[in-house]
Amino acid sequence: MSQASRPPVPQPGAPTAPGAALDRADAVLAALDPEQRAVASVPRGPMCVLAGAGTGKTRAITHRIAYGVHSGAFQAQRVLAVTFTARAAGEMRVRLRELGVGGVQARTFHAAALRQLHYFWPHAIGGGAPEVLAQKAPVVGEATGRLRLQVDRTTIRDLAAEIEWAKVSMLTPQTYAVAARRARRDPAGLDVTAMARVWETYEERKAERGVIDFEDVLLLTAGILAEREDIARVVRDQYRHFVVDEYQDVNALQQHLLELWLGGREDICVVGDPAQTIYSFTGATPEHLLRFPARFPSASVVRLVRNYRSTPQIVHVANLVLGAGSRTNTPLRAQGRPGPEPSLTAYEDEPAEAAGVALAIRGLLDSGTPAGEIAVLFRTNAQSEAFEAALSERDVPYLVRGGERFFARQEVRAAMVLLRGAVRSDDGQTPLPDLVRDVLTGAGWAATPPTAGGALRERWESLSAVAALADALVALDPAARMSHLVADLDERAASQHAPAVQGVTLASLHAAKGLEWDVVFLAGCSDGYLPITMAEGPAAIEEERRLCYVGLTRARRELHLSWAAARTPGARATRRPSRFLEAAAAVFGAGATSAARDGSSGRSRGSGGEGSGRTRTPRQPTVCRGCGTVLSAAAERKVGRCADCPPTYDPALFEALRSWRSEVAKTDKVPAFVVFTDATLTAVAEARPTTSAALTAIPGIGARKLDMYGAAVLALVAAADPPTAAESGSAGV
């Protein structure tokens, strides 16, 4: 290959000065416990770190990188550290700078791949790389519109999530149906054939727009590296040492890309915790982590079990809850000072729960606990609204994690413009924190917070967070000036590494992963939320247990759990405390046991108050009529038969139903599955209903479809003529 045709080589930053750095290597190790030191002291070769919650995994891997650089084992510019959130990547870069190491590329999988894609696209493809969609939902909505599907926004989000799962599982629209049936997927109520068509149309619409999505970034980068060995060599020469954080969350596509980056080499350290695997619905699997030692027989395996985050009381509860689901989990060993026992409080309804939590938080703030050290966690985003209202009523500042990005806020953008303008006028005479606050005054900041809450208070908190960055920068480097702060802000904005904003955090359990607070309120600890109602089968239930465990281990000092017996005031109290808490009944008391009842009143008591739940007969699982296997997939429950058992319907009736559906679809100008899915037709053919009541007993047939198609379907079951039935069905009988 000629020199002119070679792909360009990215230029690394300046290497770390070797002299003083070598002297710091021993100091880097001295700051670690024995297990962390075992991670850091072996910077070369394959290593698997099994790190429990709060055990200092980020500390261990950043010190490993720092020791490797300071000892001369490798150059900082040759290291690629990959994690899953921009915040985690930003935190890693900050810690490495504090350890005297610069130049390490710490990025998310998507950020690293996108950088490579943009760099090599002109050479590999030609022209500029296509624009990346910010969100799939609008294009998915266009695809469903083309297919004449009547779907709401929630369904569109579910369809977008299913497309994401399929792509990270390295499927195509042509291979999706078989894989989805095998995985027992139930995408937004559509059968898998219809879902494949939605995905195919989505890809067509993207191509027409000339855009790609985030999964395409990984797919295209992997494709270039697989097909262009010359480009792969450049990347492998640039990055020779890899660190992968949260390795239990890696999906098939990310693993494929990682293998292409490695190119058969073994200089890789992976870090993860099987007990925090909570993203299987996105295609993530802990199998890559668990099988790492088998793939790399020479790998060192280190377990981090010393929990430095939480009190022994919190660690004890977390161990109890997690241990009830598996015998293979390694219990955490608490290293912190004792604290109060975690509490469990029962409320009559969800508004009462929100009010009780808000009142407790107000008391904490009045006693001096910073708002930024308090969090309210819940299973679903929909639960946030009640807590937002309750906190606002008590003038408690809060922020919803997962809302508007920090650097997209108007006040932050305006502040950054003013700070850039102040770079030239910075003569070094005014201390940086004072100068920054003077500039921020022009953006609406004041020394004292506003008495009102809401948007005004959020604006003030955002600008205060920028001011706090100046304080932190000077603490790290007393010579830092405005230009350094602006550069830090630009870097943070590029990687979406937002600073800490003061306010009580409201977050879902998924969004809370990787974060921690002094005080955590874990709300909605009832069956139906934990585990969520849609969790089906033992594997899904155990993932919900791990999600609960993640919530418990976010707390450093205080942990308060709560649940509500009813959704709304005056509603029937049918809920019970989460089954996961029964393992910790010795801590929480009888209120943690879902079967605990006051025999005289039929009411249950939580350890923090009286609930109003009543006994109820547990719902029996649906089993296959053929083999008796418990049915977990919605499509299987619909027909009452597992995928392995043969159908029991009359083929002639099933084909008559399909023919009728086809005619109705043509008449109404809608896809066939909009009339009835294949699963519904199969259920009808097997059940052979003869009355309207029997027909509506079949999942997927509600009042609307009974009104539209009921007479036609019953006529077909009674061996009516299909064309006649089609006419009556399309007329809305």
pLDDT at position 132: 92
pLDDT at position 497: 65
Tell me the C-alpha distance between 54 and 556, whole Å.
9
The answer to whether 354 and 387 are in contact (CB under 8 A) is yes
Q: Tell me how many degrees the CA angle 230-232-236 measures, rounded to the nearest 5.
A: 120
Q: How many CB atoms lie within 10 A of CB 643?
A: 14
pLDDT averaged per 10 residues in sequence order, the chain, 733 residues: 41 44 77 93 94 94 94 92 88 90 91 94 89 90 90 86 93 92 81 92 94 95 95 94 94 95 94 92 89 94 95 95 71 93 94 94 94 94 87 85 67 85 85 88 79 63 83 85 87 68 87 93 94 86 94 97 91 90 90 54 38 37 56 58 65 84 83 78 84 81 82 80 42 36
The answer to whether 720 and 710 are in contact (CB under 8 A) is no
pLDDT at position 648: 67
> What string of DSSP letters covers 628-691?
-PBP-SHHHHHHTS-TTSPP-S-HHHHHHHHHHHHHHHHHHTS-HHHH--HHHHHHHHHH---S
Q: Which residues contact 592 (CB under 8 A, 6 or more apart)?
A: 344, 577, 581, 582, 584, 585, 606, 607
Q: Tell me how many degrees the CA angle 118-119-122 measures, rounded to the nearest 5.
A: 80
Spell out the SS3 assignment of 468-497.
Answer: HHHHHHHHHCCCCCHHHHHHHHHHHHHHCC
Tell me the C-alpha distance between 150 and 485, whole Å.
50
Extended strands (E) in 485-610: 504-508, 517-522, 555-564, 605-606, 609-610
Measured distance between the N- and C-terminal CA atoms of the chain, rounded to whole angstroms? 72
Up-side HSE of residue 540: CA atoms within 13 Å toward CB? 15
pLDDT at position 570: 85
Query: In terms of Cα–Cα distance, which of 250, 273, 378 is closest to 322?
Result: 273
Output the pTM of the full model. Answer: 0.69
pLDDT at position 457: 65
Tell me the C-alpha distance between 604 and 380, whole Å.
25
How far is residue 485 from each of residues 14, 115, 427, 490, 526, measured CA to CA in Å? 21, 24, 15, 9, 46
Which helix (H) or strand (E) covers residue 80, if one does? strand 79-83
Tell me the C-alpha distance between 710 and 702, whole Å.
10
pLDDT at position 643: 60
Query: In terms of Cα–Cα distance, which of 660, 668, 654 is closest to 726?
Result: 660
Helices and strands in the chain: count of H runs, count of E runs: 32, 18
Q: Which residues contact 284 (CB under 8 A, 6 or more apart)?
A: 248, 249, 250, 251, 277
pLDDT at position 12: 38
The answer to whether 457 and 449 are in contact (CB under 8 A) is yes
Tell me the C-alpha distance between 515 and 291, whole Å.
27
8-state DSSP, 524: -
